Amino acid sequence: MSVKNLTIIALISCLAYLAMLVFKVPISFLSYEIKDVIIAIGAIYLGGIYGVIICFVVSIIEMITISDSGIIGFFMNFIASALYILPICYFYNKKNSIVKGIITGTILMSLGMFIFNIFITPIYLDVELEETIKLLFTLITPFNIIKGALNGFLIFIIYKPLLKAIRKTNI
């Protein structure tokens, strides 16, 4: 990894973390934030592996500084972000289709979080599996679909001018 890429990873991680702090909207035990928009732009620019590294860094910093969910929150944040940004990066770079990437990322993140929440939510919230299933259909999955769609809309609006500006600066 070059010093340039390490610096860009640090910058994007910092921006994603700050965006999460400023634009965090709590909804029950979940929260909507726009950090994945910034991470996705970074992943498109640098590549998917770097995007996953940024997801990891931001999730670690969040766990250490402001999270009250500890390692469980770290794990769920990291997995959700990685599942979301990897298809976006892939479809943009390999298939030249940001829209397919956003749709696939939203579906993959929602399905992945559905599966992980079956195991994690009963432990995290200390509830029975039946209650978890209800939460999955009434709160968690709809939340993840809406979060993916909103973030996808933001990505779609800003990715072209932002990438153009980044490339002009020769970063």
pLDDT tens for residues 113-143?
Answer: 999 999 999 998 899 999 999 999 999 999 9
Per-residue tokens: 101:
């990437």
pLDDT of residue 69: 86
Q: How far apart are CA 51 and CA 36, in angstroms?
A: 10
Q: How far apart are CA 32 and CA 19, in angstroms?
A: 11
pLDDT of residue 58: 97
pLDDT tens for residues 11-51?
Answer: 999 999 999 999 989 998 889 999 999 999 999 999 999 99
Map out the domains of the chain as residue ranges: 3-168
Dihedral (Cα; 119, 120, 121, 123), 10-degree rounding: 100
Percent of the chain with pLDDT over 70: 99
Q: What's the mean per-residue pLDDT of the chain?
A: 93
pLDDT of residue 1 exceeding 80, the answer is no
Domain spanning 3-168, CATH class: mainly alpha
pLDDT of residue 67 exceeding 90, the answer is no
pTM exceeding 0.75: yes
